[in-house]
Structure 1
């Protein structure tokens, strides 16, 4: 690469591609964090709602057997909902991992193609 103009053009292309890659990574990060926060807020809301229901059941029931059955039903419902929230979180992590992998592979392919093109151009000169 004896031509300074070609060298500057290549550096410019790497800079532009680097900026675009970082912007895309920031978008993936932001989207993932927003989804994670949403899942956490849903889970927190579930816990608060269950706590409120538990207080309601405790204040309404005076029969120990009925109170016990209500607590068991609440516990079962909470555990099922938490398991569902856990599955959602695993799915979100898998989706984010796939997006990160795709981003990385795309960046590597772009870099390789630019370097290959520059090497071929240098060999022609």
Structure 2
């Protein structure tokens, strides 16, 4: 068995921090054989992105599905201005509201490996 890649330090941007923690916990557990992912913090507002990315210097940042495409773009450009090589992913707007938390977990399980193995 190969050693998991990582550790990858993850910051989420989600107005519901407990939900973010729960969902990311499920993703981390499901991928633990392949990746070591540490959820270091959550930003509840876009204003928290710059200070928290500066503080934690994460490898990865996910923005949740409650943000519009424009807001997700803003979140990503703030994060990238502080850490140019950060891996970014925006969960599609409305996914949680339309299809629920299981859909978000499935979506991340489908998308996170390519993000962590590949580029941004």
TM-score (norm 2): 0.22
Which structure has the bigger radius of gyration? 1
Structure (1 or 2) with the greater strand fraction: 2
Higher RCO structure (Cα 8 Å, ≥6 apart): 1
Structure (1 or 2) with the greater helix fraction: 1
